[in-house]
C-alpha cells in the first residue's frame, strides 16, 4: 500500500488524510502543534472557551455536496447545526437593521428602513436569490475536468455567470455606495467585514446564509477539528503532534519524504503539504521550486490583498442572551498602529452553554485589516507587545461599555490575538486568516497545488483555492488525493465517498 505523508493537521491536511485513506492509501499527518485544526480552533481560559474561527460554516445545508463532504470527513455527521434567524444586527443612532435569514423578511425590513433604496434593495434580494443556486464546485479539480465536466459546471452556474462577471468588476465598497441609507450600507458591510473583496463575495455570503447553508456546528471550531482528527484516526490514520517539519526531502526531482526539525526522517510515496503556501515554498522547499502564479500573487498585494485581524475575546460576568448574538455599531474612533477603527462587530455565544460558566458569557470582537508590520515590530519586545495588546483590549472594552453600560466592571478574562499570533501558531503568512482575496484586479481563483518539476508532491489547504476559508480547505484536501489517484491511475471516483 502506498503511503501519503501530509504536513499540517489543519482542515486541509485532515481532509487530505481522510480522503487518502478512503482511496486506499496509507496516510500519516505531521503537525507542529499539540492539537488538530490549525486556524480552525479555540482555547480555554479560566473557565471560558474562546472560539477563534467559525462565524458561519458554508455547507451546513443537508442536500448540498459540501454538506455530504463535511459528513464524510466526520465534521458534521450527527452534529446539531444552529441557524440563527438573523446573521447580524447593525445599530446606529438607536435604529437597528437585521440581516435576516429569511430573504422575504429581509426585503420587507430593508424597505421599511429605506424606501428610497427600493430599486437597490430589490436588486440585492433578487441577486442573492440567484446566487443561492450556485455552489462551490467540489467534484473534481479543474485540471482534471473534461469537456462534459466543464459543461456541467457551466450549466450549474448558468444563472449567475453573467451576474458574476458584472459584480466581479466592482468591490463590495463600490457596490454598497449605491445605497442611499448609511444604515443599510453599515449592516451589509458588517456582515462581510472586508470591503475590498469583489462584490460577488457579498452575494456568496448573503446567499449562503439565506439558503440555510451557513450555520454554526454545535461545539464550535475546535470541536469540529477534533471530530475530523478522530475520523482520520478511526479510519487507521496516524497523526504525530509536536512534529514540526523542517524540510521536504527531494531526490531526482521527486518528493520522497520529510525531515522533522528534531532530525527524524520519514519516507513516503507522496507528500501533501497542507501548510501555509509560503511555509511550503520558502521553508520546506527552500525556494527551489519557483511558481509563477504564487510569485505574481505575493508580489502584488494591491491586487491580491491578504486579510488579517486582531481578535479580542472577553469572559464576561453577565448573561448576554437578551442582546443580539452578533451586533455591530459605530464607535468613537481609536487607532491601532495607524489603522483607525470606528466601529465594532461583537458576537456572543448564548447558544453554547459550555463556552462560559452558567450566568456568564463570552464576547468575541474581530477587528479586520490590521497592520501586520506594526504587530511584528511590537513582538520584538515582548513587554511592548503585551502592552499593545492590553491597550487594544482596553479600547474595545471602553466602547463596549459605552454601548452596554451594564457591563462596566464585568470583564473577568481578557485574551487578544494578533496577526503575529496566527503567524506563530499556524505559520500563516503575514498572519493572514484567509488566503488571497478575490478582487476586481486579481486574475486567479485557484492553484493546482502542483509545482512544476517536482514529482509526487501536491499542495492542499486554503492557499490553493482562493479566497480560502474552511470549505476551500476541505475541498483542496480531496482534490490533492484525486490528483494522486490520477497519477496512480486509480479511479478516484470509486473510493472518495
Ligand atoms: C479569526 C478567524 C475567523 C475565521 N472565520 C471563518 C469562518 O467563519 N468561516 C470560514 O469558512 N473560515 C473562517 N476562517 C478561515 C479558516 O479558519 C481557514 O480558512 C482554514 O482553517 C484554513 O485551513 P488550512 O488547513 O488551509 O490551513 P491552516 O489552518 O493554517 O492549517 C495549517 C496547519 O499546518 C501546520 N503547520 C504549519 N507549518 C508546519 C510545519 N512546518 N510542520 C508541521 N505542521 C505545520 C499548522 O500548525 C496548521 O495546523 C477564519 C479564520 C480565522 C483565523
pLDDT tens-digit series, residues 80-121: 999 999 999 999 999 999 999 999 999 999 999 999 999 999
- Where along the chain do its domains lie? 3-42+219-303+437-494, 85-211, 309-431
Closest residue by Cα to atom 45, ligand 1, is 8
pLDDT tens-digit series, residues 23-53: 999 999 999 999 999 999 999 999 999 999 9
- The residue ranges of the chain whose pLDDT is under 70 are 492-497
Task: Say what the pLDDT of residue 14 is.
Answer: 98
What is the Å distance from ligand 1's center to 115 Cα? 42
- Measured CA to CA in angstroms, residue 142 lies from 18, 169, 455, 461, 463 at distances of 21, 23, 19, 16, 16
What is the Å distance from ligand 1's center to 425 Cα? 10
| Distance separating alpha carbons of residues 37 and 49, to the nearest angstrom | 16
Closest residue by Cα to atom 49, ligand 1, is 38
The residue to mutate among 82, 275, 283, 436, having the most atoms of ligand 1 within 8 angstroms of its beta carbon, is 275
The whole-angstrom distance between residue 210's C-alpha and the CA centroid of its chain comes to: 19
Task: Say what the pLDDT of residue 135 is.
Answer: 80
Task: Say what the pLDDT of residue 267 is.
Answer: 98
Domain 3-42+219-303+437-494 class in CATH: alpha beta
The residue assigned the cell 509545482 is 451
Q: Write out residues with Cβ below 6 Å of ligand 1.
A: 7-13, 30-33, 38-40, 52-56, 244-245, 274-276, 279, 309, 311, 422, 426-428, 433-434, 461-462, 468-471, 473
433 with 307: CB under 8 angstroms?
yes
How many CB atoms sit inside 10 A of residue 164's CB?
Answer: 18
Amino acid at each position: 500500500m502506498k503511503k501519503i505523508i501530509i504536513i499540517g493537521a489543519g482542515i486541509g491536511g485532515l481532509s487530505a488524510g481522510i480522503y487518502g485513506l478512503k482511496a486506499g492509501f496509507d496516510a500519516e499527518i505531521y503537525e507542529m502543534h499539540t492539537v488538530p485544526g490549525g486556524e480552525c480552533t479555540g482555547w480555554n481560559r479560566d473557565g471560558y472557551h474562546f472560539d477563534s474561527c467559525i462565524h458561519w460554516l458554508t455547507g451546513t445545508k443537508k442536500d448540498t455536496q459540501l454538506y455530504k463532504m463535511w459528513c464524510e470527513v466526520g465534521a458534521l455527521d450527527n452534529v446539531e447545526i444552529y441557524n440563527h434567524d438573523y446573521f447580524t444586527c447593525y445599530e446606529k443612532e438607536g435604529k437597528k437593521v437585521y440581516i435576516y435569514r429569511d430573504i422575504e423578511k429581509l426585503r420587507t425590513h430593508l424597505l421599511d428602513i429605506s424606501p428610497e433604496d427600493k430599486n437597490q434593495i430589490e436588486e440585492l434580494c433578487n441577486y442573492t436569490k440567484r446566487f443561492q443556486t450556485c455552489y462551490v464546485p467540489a467534484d473534481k479539480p479543474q485540471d482534471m475536468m473534461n469537456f462534459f465536466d466543464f459543461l456541467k459546471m457551466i450549466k450549474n452556474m448558468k444563472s449567475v455567470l453573467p451576474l458574476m462577471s458584472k459584480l466581479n468588476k466592482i468591490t463590495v465598497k463600490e457596490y454598497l455606495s449605491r445605497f442611499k441609507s448609511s444604515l443599510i450600507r453599515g449592516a451589509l458591510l458588517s456582515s462581510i467585514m472586508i470591503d475590498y473583496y469583489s462584490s460577488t463575495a457579498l452575494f456568496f455570503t448573503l446567499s449562503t446564509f439565506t439558503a440555510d447553508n451557513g450555520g454554526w456546528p454545535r461545539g464550535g471550531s475546535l470541536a469540529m477539528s477534533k471530530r475530523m482528527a478522530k475520523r482520520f484516526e478511526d479510519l487507521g490514520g496516524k497523526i504525530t503532534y509536536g512534529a514540526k517539519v523542517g524540510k521536504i526531502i527531494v531526490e531526482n526531482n521527486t518528493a520522497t519524504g520529510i525531515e522533522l526539525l528534531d532530525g527524524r526522517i520519514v519516507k513516503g510515496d507522496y507528500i501533501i503539504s497542507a501548510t501555509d503556501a509560503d511555509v511550503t515554498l520558502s521553508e520546506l522547499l527552500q525556494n527551489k521550486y519557483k511558481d509563477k502564479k504564487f510569485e505574481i500573487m505575493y508580489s502584488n498585494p494591491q491586487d491580491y490583498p491578504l486579510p488579517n485581524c486582531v481578535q479580542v475575546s472577553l469572559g464576561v460576568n453577565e448573561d448576554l442572551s437578551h442582546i443580539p448574538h452578533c451586533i455591530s455599531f459605530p464607535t468613537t474612533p481609536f487607532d491601532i498602529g495607524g489603522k483607525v477603527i470606528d466601529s465594532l462587530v461583537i458576537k456572543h455565544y448564548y447558544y453554547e452553554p459550555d463556552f462560559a460558566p452558567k450566568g456568564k458569557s463570552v464576547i468575541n470582537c474581530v477587528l479586520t485589516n490590521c497592520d501586520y508590520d506594526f504587530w511584528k515590530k511590537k513582538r520584538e519586545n515582548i513587554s511592548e507587545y503585551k502592552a499593545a495588546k492590553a491597550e487594544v483590549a482596553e479600547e474595545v472594552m471602553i466602547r463596549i461599555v459605552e454601548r452596554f453600560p451594564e457591563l462596566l466592571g464585568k470583564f473577568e478574562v481578557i485574551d487578544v490575538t494578533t496577526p503575529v499570533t496566527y503567524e506563530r501558531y499556524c505559520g500563516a503568512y503575514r498572519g493572514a486568516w484567509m488566503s488571497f482575496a478575490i478582487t476586481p484586479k486579481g486574475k486567479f481563483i485557484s492553484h493546482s497545488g502542483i509545482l512544476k518539476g517536482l514529482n509526487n508532491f501536491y499542495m492542499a489547504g486554503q492557499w490553493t483555492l482562493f479566497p480560502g476559508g474552511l470549505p476551500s480547505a476541505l475541498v483542496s484536501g480531496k482534490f490533492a488525493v484525486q490528483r494522486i489517484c490520477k497519477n496512480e491511475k486509480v479511479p478516484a471516483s470509486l473510493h472518495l465517498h
